[in-house]
Structure 1
């Protein structure tokens, strides 16, 4: 593959709902651009993007794939379009977030028959957040039941007047055969068995809709400047070049979002889309989206994409596949990347070497001589570098902002299916977490369980499958155990005596103690002594406290840690020969267990502060579901974008499976986050159920 200058590069992320046709569209563009001789198929698992075995088996994208396409339109200079084909399912949002960090514009793919879907809305919102220029590409136009006009009305209703149709469909005998170009005011007919198109007449039935679309387009052009506005109101027309120039400016700022159309499986519209990408989308130096800090001066900067300055780049994704190897995908921001370049990881302060430079096309690694600013490529076997890191020259260290990756809140416990696989499991999970930054593991020492966190259940299931197929390590996912606590609700007094005689010196310790709530659930216990007259010598006080401390690690009720306890040593007796620290520690333990069970012991459950963001229309259903889960809604506020933020306190155990239920209740548009707040007494039925379950668990572990 030839080397392209910055002005000849377009970095475009394909976004949209799962099943909208992103991968098929990428395949069509690769075919039209000549990168492949025959289009692959998603159902058959033969596309460039879906090369992973899990993707081929399941029939949808799991990871972002890079598909560079070299495109030339007539006499224009060739342009390299780096397509970043992202997953549409919400569980893999981290892949999308990494891709948009490297992209300068987006194509939001919409299935005409399916209409406006949650993934379309989420893609738009992410583009809005990052101020990405975008184009809607409506696919599946070859389905005669697909209503383009109906979809267009929904897009305009949801996203406003910025939505500007550049294409209107031409149908004959209920078949999609071409489109009307609203800018050129010309018809285009697809050649049979070809992605190319030829000029054609505009059908009479298109005149009405064409007039509406054309008028909206001219209004948008007029609003771009006062001079154009005056010409528009005086009845003057705009030249084709003036319209194109204005469109280029408006699309680059996000003030206009063109709508185009085609059929991915027939490669129809792919040529027109790539023409529009080259014409309307900014090259990297015009986009200028990458912010960072000069570590030498502390000055904030925006990458300038100049080739004659020191080299710097950001790593936006890592591939750690045992079959194709480990690759760090980078976007070059300044300077020129060449093989065997000396690099410095500015965040980790370690030196790396580039080795060979590649451009990835799906799983194919194409070696190149260099990468110019703005281009996307890959390096193999960087030892310390991870996703989000910055690589630069040591003498000119720059640190760029890493991708903003969603935090995972869904988790399950996992156990090895076969003993002895623990090392393979740990190694495999580490590699999978290199690839997917929304995955993380945690060891819950208190409940003796290992936890796997992700965005959703489907993602966790795929992790299990990948571990088995890639790394020959099998795990089983289970419902996690939750960290309950034990405390008491009233004051009691209890005595404890430990006496043992076995020849020679015996053991003797005798204590009388009171136990009551301390009022501080942050501490396990508070220990005091009120002994008078030397009934218990002072040198045994630490042993008594040690006995209490050890008992608090596992409470008598359900073997959970004890909190909020005040223990006071009141009285006791000792033997001048047989008493010892061990004896008094044992006596304190006996008093603790006796007193604790008489002091109205209760279980405390962890409560989290939950924030749920949902569309206004789903607020009632979500609040009802929270009440069913024993949640307490504390308040609600609008985010002024058609969503409500619901704040609630809810037991952590009731959030198990919440992600899937929230998606169902909110049409896939709900989001949630939480953090630990405090412990509260759980209801009697919950306590009874938990104590019984805990007893069975402990019995099983003993056996």
Structure 2
């Protein structure tokens, strides 16, 4: 670590940077849409001198909006890197989307960072998703701090928001500064007032009123810091009336923040610049360096031998692709976090991974040459000579590496277990708009899959539909927009078909007669069959009971083949495959000249259709077992909704932190849009998983509507 010196209420890192490069802080910004994350990033870039006016770099491009779709949707939809320098500390700010559909990029940011900065608007209540993310970071011990934004908003309620943060995040969430409005802060430890009139920071002593409001809050802050101190005598000394040196308090504060046991709150106003210098000081002085953050799990390629690597620029190379973007002109660009070693241009690395084969991602185990390295800011890519352990860098021309893949030395290949990704649960069926689009569709989807690990592409063999499994409507809209704007592929959404099936309602018998006379050889085949339903999952059984050669032996397999083909096509207008039946061939007729394999195949199919019409057909629907996790307040709502979807609730289980899991079995036809509906009824706090359970008979009234719609 570089040396430290005090400037405000925390220290900055100063002096010469380490010999292996600059000191680094990787900080991910977390918060709901509208909390002000992107605006905060821009204000920090201005405050650090990285850019000269909010939102613009030298080439005029925007700082954080990498995608034209973000402008159209008026929200961030992708992970964006914004690096800045503050007192010889490089701070990599990772701006993440706040909308739930883009949680994949959020989790990528959490993986790439060493500390999370929760951005909370003082003009809006804290949403349930933010609380969930706080608990998730807490579970893995990630250091966290809180920024309270929009102090200049007409509805700003600093005191109420701070109280809500402490209620939702815990007692160790304490402010380092108190706002004096939208144009100044009071340092809780230093007792100094920092004003930003005219856009520059100045200091003064507090007024009598300001000093009075400071006393109580300052005492609570000092006690909170001392409780986290490794010096067990410090609390006794403080309670005895000893005046604890500010340096001691700041050092203990920094250590507590770095290890994730204390969470400072910094109020800011991005419009006026209030709090920007203070926040930069906290990030540079108190946030942990990459060397202080635990390394993700690393193994050899066979997974048998675990490795522990420090964040050492001289160590073995270990890096991970945390974000992939593609451009029709630039090609593929990978955002890479270097965990160990040093990554250099033109080096040959081993690409390994990943664990998402079930979503259409290929498993990788190959060598690839690294292209140019650059430091991205907006759409500007600034070349860099090399990237050391702990840093983030954009890598060009990694044509095979995808998000989540590991980069390592080709002579010492390693594998990192990627971060957990939620399952995409909103299906969207698409068709190419024209033949030209159909020709390019596969390539366009392959590029989207490489970029987005939350996307799963399915060619359903039963419904013959191309289905994109997405995180929600906004995610689906973004994917279709990118197909069109980036890759020139135009598609249309169509109604999703759930793979229903048919089975017999009872026993029956029928004759299949296929007789045609043409100028040459005719077609002649007659077969008589009996049919009956089988228990679920028994499949198909064909029994030959023909006697006396009524159906020649060579044509009996033809009858079976025709029956099987008709089962695949279905026997009703709805044309769903038929399953779980027994067919017994017991009689028939043949002609010495006009009978043939095809004639008996046709007769077998006709016989099954006639028998099914006589016996009646039941539609079978797939049933999923789902587990829905929601806050306790929404359990009743969720259970009532599931009942309305013809679901059977199997039970509930409390999982702590005021949350409950509801388990139920629900027909697939009823939960096609459940990802959207659950988010609405739980205000974004509910999640669910689903897995196939079995097929069950569909109620007659529901089946009648589907059959009528297919006729």
Tell me if both proteins adopt one fold, taking TM over 0.5 as the criterion. yes
Structure-2 separation of matches of 1:17 and 1:459:
16
1:642 lines up with 2:639 in the alignment: no
CA contact (8 A) 1:358 1:367 kept: yes
Partner of 1:570: 586
* Alignment match, 1:19: 34
Query: 1:332-371 residue pairs with structure 2 within 5 A?
Result: 332-347=338-353, 348-371=364-387
Contact 1:7 1:284 in 2 (8 A): no
Unmatched runs of 5 consecutive residues or more in structure 1:
73-77, 696-703
Is the CA contact (8 Å cut-off) linking 1:17 and 1:118 kept in structure 2?
no
Distance 1:503 1:351, change over 3 A: closer
Pairing partner for 1:309 from 304, 311, 315 = 315
Please state how far the C-alpha of 1:270 moved relative to its aligned partner: 1.4
TM-score of the pair, normalised by structure 1 = 0.92
Say yes or no: does 1:214 pair with 2:222: no
Structure 2 residue 149 is matched with structure 1 residue 182: no
CA distance in 2, matches of 1:666, 1:688: 33
Correspondence list, 1:544-583, <5 A: 544-557=559-572, 558-576=574-592, 578-583=594-599
Distance 1:62 1:4 in 2: 37
Whether 1:615 and 2:620 are equivalent positions in the alignment is: no
Relative to structure 1, is the Cα distance of residues 302 and 162 closer, same or farther in structure 2, using a 3 angstrom cutoff?
A: farther
Deviations 1:397-422 (A, max 9, x none): 22122232222111111122333211
Alignment partner, residue 9 of structure 2 = none
Query: Please, which of 68, 81, 93 is the counterpart of residue 103 of structure 2?
Result: 93
Q: Which moved more, 1:584-593 or 1:291-300?
A: 291-300
CA contact (8 A) 1:222 1:232 kept: no
Match of 1:328 in 2: 334
Going from structure 1 to structure 2, the CA distance change for 1:211 and 1:590 (only over 3 Å counts) comes to same
Contact 1:195 1:266 in 2 (8 A): no
Q: Which residue of 2 aligns with 1:664?
A: 680
Give the equivalent residue in structure 1 for 2:204: 199
Shift of 1:41: 8.1
The SS at the match of 1:307 is coil
**Are 1:411 and 1:452, in contact at CA under 8 Å, matched by a contact in 2?**
yes
- Equivalent position of 1:700 in the other structure: none
CA contact 1:134–1:254 (8 Å) conserved in 2: yes
Q: Could you say which residue in structure 2 is the equivalent of 1:475?
A: 491
2:174 and 2:264 in contact (8 A); partners too: yes
Deviation of the 1:505 alpha carbon: 5.5
Matching residue of 1:684: 700
Report the secondary structure of 1:260's partner residue: strand
Structure 1 position 211, deviation (Å): 0.8
Distance between the aligned counterparts of 1:80 and 1:56, measured in 2? 28
Distance 1:206 1:143 in 2: 25
Q: Is the 8 A contact 2:228 2:262 kept in 1?
A: no
Structure 2, gaps ≥5 residues long:
1-16, 354-363
How far 1:67 moved relative to its partner?
A: 0.5
Partner secondary structure for residue 283 of structure 2: helix
Question: In the alignment, which residue of structure 2 is the partner of 1:465?
Answer: 481
Instruction: Assess if the C-alpha contact under 8 Å between 2:223 and 2:235 holds in 1.
Output: no
- Name the counterpart of 2:163: 153
* In structure 2, C-alpha distance between the alignment counterparts of 1:358 and 1:530, rounded to whole Å: 76
- Report what 1:30 is aligned to: 45
Cα distance in 2, alignment partners of residues 236 and 366 from structure 1 = 52
Find out whether 1:127 has 2:137 as its counterpart: yes
Are the aligned partners of 2:259 and 2:288 in contact in 1 as well (CA < 8 Å)?
A: no
Structure 2 counterparts to residues 136-285 of structure 1, below 5 A? 136-171=146-181, 176-190=182-196, 192-201=197-206, 204=209, 207-208=212-213, 210-212=215-217, 214-225=219-230, 226-285=232-291
Q: What residue number does 1:418 align with?
A: 434
| Closer, same or farther: CA 129–414 of 1 in aligned 2, 3 Å | farther
**Is the partner of 1:569 in helix, strand or coil?**
strand
Scaled by the length of structure 2, the TM-score of the pair is: 0.91
Q: 1-side partners of 2:495 and 2:208: how far apart?
A: 61
Distance 1:682 1:203, change over 3 A: farther
Tell me: CA distance 1:577–1:321, structure 2 relative to 1, closer, same or farther (3 Å): closer
Q: Is the 8 A contact 2:62 2:379 kept in 1?
A: no
Give me the whole-angstrom Cα distance separating, in 1, the residues matched to 2:679 and 2:441. 30
- 1:631 matched to 2:647: yes
Q: For the residues of structure 2 that align with 1:189 and 1:509, how far apart are their CA atoms? A: 97
Partner Cα distance (2:303, 2:543) in 1: 56
Pairs aligned (count): 681
C-alpha contact (below 8 Å) 1:98/1:405 kept by paired residues? no
CA deviation profile, 1:155-174 (whole Å, cap 9, x unmatched): 11112212112122213xxx
Query: In the alignment, is the contact (CA less than 8 A) between 1:23 and 1:47 conserved in 2?
Result: no
Counterpart secondary structure, 1:9: strand
Displacement after TM superposition at 1:122 (Å):
3.5
Deviations 1:84-107 (A, max 9, x none): 011111111111111111100010
What CA distance in whole angstroms lies between the structure 2 residues aligned with 1:256 and 1:194?
A: 30
Change (3 A) 1:568 1:350: same
Shift of 1:233: 4.3
- 1:221 Cα shift? 1.5
After TM superposition, give the deviation of residue 7 of structure 1 in Å. Answer: 6.8
Larger CA deviation: 300-309 vs 541-550 = 300-309
| CA 419–532 in structure 1, closer or farther in 2 if over 3 Å, else same | closer
Q: Deviations over 1:194-218 (max 9, x none)?
A: 1524233155266356414532541
Equivalent residues of 1:3, 1:368 under 8 A apart: no
Secondary structure of 2:135's aligned partner: helix
Corresponding residue of 1:443: 459
In 2, the alpha carbon distance for the partners of 1:586 and 1:597 equals 17
Kindly state the Cα deviation for residue 289 of structure 1 after the two structures are TM-superposed: 2.8
Give, in whole Å, the separation in 1 of the partners of 2:435 and 2:551: 51
Counterpart residue number, 1:589: 605
Contact 2:192 2:203 in 1 (8 A): no
In 2: Cα distance, 1:435 partner to 1:321 partner: 11
Q: Which moved more, 1:435-444 or 1:500-509?
A: 500-509
Residues 612-669 of structure 1, C-alpha deviation per residue, up to 9 Å, x if partnerless?
1111101111111112222221111111121111111111121122222211111111
The whole-number CA distance in structure 2 between the counterparts of 1:89 and 1:41 is: 24
Change over 3 Å in CA distance of 1:470–1:164 after alignment to 2: same
Report the CA distance shift for 1:494/1:683 in structure 2 as closer, same or farther (over 3 A).
same
Deviation at 1:533, TM superposition (A): 4.3
**Superposed displacement of residue 230, structure 1:** 3.4
CA contact (8 A) 1:4 1:80 kept: no
**C-alpha contact 1:168 1:180 (8 A) present in aligned 2:** yes
Matching residue within 546, 554, 578 for 1:531:
546
Q: Which residue of 2 aligns with 1:75?
A: none
Mapped contact 1:112–1:139 kept (Cα < 8 A): yes
- Alpha-carbon distance change, 62 to 551 in structure 1, aligned in 2, over 3 angstroms: same
Equivalent in the alignment of 2:423: 407
Change over 3 Å in CA distance of 1:55–1:63 after alignment to 2: same
State how far apart, in whole Å, the 2-side matches of 1:416 and 1:206 are: 68
